Structure 1
């Protein structure tokens, strides 16, 4: 590196401190957090079980279709 000052990087800007006596005018304090609505855990579990069942059936049908297409492709080749 060279010590030339031909418009290259001049370093970071100078840090200017705030004037003496400067303070933040006010600090906003947050209010109390809201209460969450009650949850129906049984309904949530039932919905998750139905979603899991649908996912398993979609996967099963997709794999069956994949093997059917593979077998048809091998037999007709």
Structure 2
């Protein structure tokens, strides 16, 4: 820094907005739509199928992991 620079004087002065700058009317939202009926039995069946698929995928992944581990240990 050189001596010829002016010191920091702070941020500029805040100028308030003119009166009446806001929107006068606010749009009110309409009434919410009704949700379609749900078939809880079908939802439960789909969740059960998804859980079964997840469990089988986990079983296959664990079996593959142990297979790779055993093959790796036998080679040494």
Same-fold status (TM-score > 0.5)? yes
Mark the runs of 5 or more structure 2 residues left unpaired by the alignment. Answer: none
Aligned length: 71
Partner of 1:31: 30
SS of the residue aligned with 1:42?
helix
Change (3 A) 1:38 1:26: same
Equivalent position of 1:49 in the other structure: 48
Q: Does 1:5 align with 2:6?
A: yes
Could you list the per-position Cα deviations for residues 30-63 of structure 1 after superposition, in whole angstroms to 9, with x for gaps in the alignment?
Answer: 1101111111111111111100100000000110
Please give the alpha-carbon distance, in whole angstroms, between the structure 2 residues aligned to 1:31 and 1:24.
20
RMSD (CA atoms): 2.0
Structure 2 residue 46 is matched with structure 1 residue 73: no
- Deviation of residue 19 (structure 1)? 2.5
- List, as ranges, runs of 4+ consecutive aligned residues in structure 1 with deviation greater than 4 Å: none
Mapped to 1, the partners of 2:13 and 2:62 lie a distance apart of: 65
CA distance in 2, matches of 1:13, 1:24: 27
- The alignment partner of 2:38 has SS state of coil
